[in-house]
Amino acid sequence: MSRPGSRPLGCVVAGLLLASCGDRDAQWRAVLGVPRALQLPAIPENNPPTEAKLQLGRRLFYDVRLSGNQTQSCASCHDQKLAFTDGKKTAVGSTGHVLTRNAQGLQNAAYNSTLTWANDGLIALESQLAVPIRNDRPVELGVNDGNVSAVLARFENDSRYPAAFRAAFPESASGPTVEKIIFALATFCRSLVGADSPYDRYLAGDKSALTDSQKRGLALFNGERLECFHCHSGSNLTTSYRDARTTEDTATYPFFNNGLYNLDGGYPPQDQGLYEVTLRKDDRGRFRPQSLRNVALTAPYMHDGSLATLDDVLSHYAAGGTVTASGPLAGDGRLNPLKSGLIRGFVLTAEERGDVLAFLNALTDVGFVENPAFAAAED
Ligand code: HEC
Ligand code: HEC
């Protein structure tokens, strides 16, 4: 039985002890623009979303002054037209460093149970966003102890930012800080939500939203021959999922080795996935199942962008892994001893392959990639 006194602290809004969870959640959904088909994402108690914070985050997301040398913004690697990816194999930082990983799409990123391709310790956007801003190995935006005051001064001395920071953080008298920048950006990222692809409309009851070929592709995707759904299921087509209702007891943190490489049982030394964080040998090559929202727009594929097209991705799964014939990465990924048991390989006819590809194309959410609320502000 629930007792009134046992209401979680999270339902206290700005000192209004009587505000109910329902009111608060409805208000947060409205600020973030969460569509009915989606749950409210998990939101840390110390960063409640407000319109002022979201708009500050949006402005910062598109501002190159956030990089040390003022050449790059978040949007340089996360372009809305490409569902917030960059079209590159692996991203390139503001000082020209080539990263080892492919830039991730940001639609519904707030629902991933862990953030980035392989890190079981990053579960809040507020912690993850320090990485692109402060990372020095390799440099992304290149903000560091040496230039952070100069970067913040750019915002302090701007004609509009000081008022925007005050509106977003009315409880704080100090001007722009890295923490406030991160909290505002996290709020903007949490608002990058949508569920209006043909597949979403089909799930919502519009049986004509998918073509017959896409429907056959969906059945294959959800069938035991291809096994895709074991790792790519739920509202973002990934089992890495949590929302405001998820508790520590119900959270899951999936990571899999899907047989892309085999260098003496491991993955290339520049990126061994989850192993880089845990140093557990069994975690070599384990990555988070990626959300497949807008997947037709986010080529190239996988953590290192090594598969150029969705057709290549299907060939990878059909073979039960990727064989690299020569060069420093040579090896038979199909035989990687740490490969998930669900990556077994299968045979597809040409027609079936076309159907699965047609289904993957039905995950494109045009309303999301064209939503003016996610673009740079006009002024
Ligand atoms: C130099 C390119 C680059 C820049 C600049 C950049 N990112 Fe990223 N972003 C990436 C890459 C690459 C990844 C995957 C990182 C990994 O797996 O280690 C990523 C991952 C993310 C994720 C995690 C998504 C998920 O599904 O887990 C978020 C959120 C994100 N970036 C937001 C931002 C924001 C906000 C900014 C600006 C402060 C930013 N990024 C700047 C390249 C970039
Ligand atoms: C055992 C779990 C598992 C199964 C089964 C699985 N996937 Fe994946 N999928 C993953 C993981 C993990 C990644 C990321 C791997 C990496 O980057 O090394 C991924 C990545 C992808 C990507 C690349 C996404 C991107 O943005 O780069 C696509 C597309 C994809 N999977 C489609 C499929 C399809 C289609 C099937 C069925 C034929 C399937 N997956 C079966 C776990 C799985």
Tell me how far the alpha carbon of residue 307 lies from the centroid of ligand 2, in angstroms.
11
Tell me how far the alpha carbon of residue 66 lies from the centroid of ligand 1, in angstroms.
14
The answer to the question of residue 259 being in a domain is no
Cβ-based neighbours of 201, under 8 Å, separated by 6 or more: 209
pLDDT tens per residue across span 45-72: 999 999 999 999 999 999 999 999 999 9
pLDDT for 16: 52
Could you tell me the CATH number of the domain that includes residue 186? 1.10.760.10
User: How many CA atoms does the CB half-sphere of 311 hold within 13 Å?
Assistant: 3
The answer to the question of residue 161 being in a domain is yes
Identify the band that residue 137 occupies on the pLDDT scale cut at 50, 70 and 90. confident
- Does ligand 1 have an atom closer than 6 angstroms to the CB of 58? no
Atom 39 (ligand 1) nearest CA:
74
The answer to the question of residue 52 being in a domain is yes
- Does ligand 2 have an atom closer than 6 angstroms to the CB of 227? yes
> What does the alpha-carbon distance between residue 280 and residue 273 come to, in Å, rounded to a whole number?
11
Tell me how far the alpha carbon of residue 134 lies from the centroid of ligand 1, in angstroms.
12
The answer to the question of residue 361 being in a domain is no
- Does ligand 1 have an atom closer than 6 angstroms to the CB of 242? no
Please check whether residue 53 is in contact with residue 189, taking contact to mean a CB–CB distance below 8 angstroms: no
Whole-model pTM?
A: 0.94
Cβ-based neighbours of 146, under 8 Å, separated by 6 or more: none
Shortest-distance ligand to the CA of residue 355 = 2
Ligand 2 atom closest to the CA of 360, numbered from 1: 35
Range in 4-13, 136-145, 202-211, 278-287 with the lowest mean pLDDT: 4-13
> What does the alpha-carbon distance between residue 33 and residue 111 come to, in Å, rounded to a whole number?
14
- Does ligand 1 have an atom closer than 6 angstroms to the CB of 185? yes
The answer to the question of residue 376 being in a domain is no
The answer to the question of residue 177 being in a domain is yes
Shortest-distance ligand to the CA of residue 357 = 2
Q: Rg of the Cα trace of the chain?
A: 22
The answer to the question of residue 165 being in a domain is yes
pLDDT tens per residue across span 339-378: 999 999 999 999 999 999 999 999 999 999 999 999 999 8
Instruction: From residue 297, give the alpha-carbon distance in Å to each of 111, 311, 312, 370.
Output: 20, 13, 15, 13
Ligand 2 atom closest to the CA of 287, numbered from 1: 12
Note down the domain range covering 52.
19-192
The answer to the question of residue 232 being in a domain is no
pLDDT for 2: 34
- Does ligand 2 have an atom closer than 6 angstroms to the CB of 226? yes
Task: Count structural domains, the chain.
Answer: 1
